[in-house]
Amino acid sequence: MSEDQKTAGDTLHVLVYSDDRGVRQQIRLALGQSVAADLPPVEVVDAATQKAVLDAVESGSYDVVIADGEAVPSGGMGLTHQLKDEIADCPPVVLVVARQADAWLATWSRADAVTTHPIDPVKLPGIVADLVRAQ
């Protein structure tokens, strides 16, 4: 999305998945109102269950999904893999893993980007902005 494409009505729709309300809140706070000056404002929608994520992504209205790899009972890695297998036009997925050493699992899940807990409020918006610009 270029500056020319950006209009006042544009919104960057981000779906955040975690069974932990605190993790969802950390992600929401890290993203803030905008991830970059050249991108539209962010609207974050929370999902706490696998079914909620699948239903939301099937609607086709999200630009990015952020999935908590530590979520239970359905972890973000397995959910990301399922999204990539089942959703034809799956938006990019950022997978949040517990340790950097777990990042190799993201290759199996086919996540588009990986970050770690605790949520880095500088790094996460940059990752999301890069994914949106690459679309």
Choice among 55-59, 79-83, 104-108, 125-129 with the minimum mean pLDDT: 104-108
Domains of the chain (ranges, CATH numbers):
12-134 (3.40.50.2300)
Query: What is the pLDDT at residue 3?
Result: 43
- Per residue in 40-77, pLDDT (tens digit) is 999 999 999 999 999 999 987 999 999 999 999 999 99
Choice among 7-11, 63-67, 71-75, 81-85 with the minimum mean pLDDT: 7-11
Q: Are strands 64-68 and 12-17 parallel, antiparallel or unpaired?
A: parallel
Q: Could you give the angle at the alpha carbon of 25 between the alpha carbons of 61 and 62, nearest 5°?
A: 10
Side-chain half-sphere CA neighbours of 17 within 13 A: 33
> 117 is written with which tokens?
């807990």
Give the residues across from 15 on adjacent strands: 45, 65
Query: What is the pLDDT at residue 4?
Result: 40
Residue 69's nearest CA partner among 61, 81, 60, 59 is 81
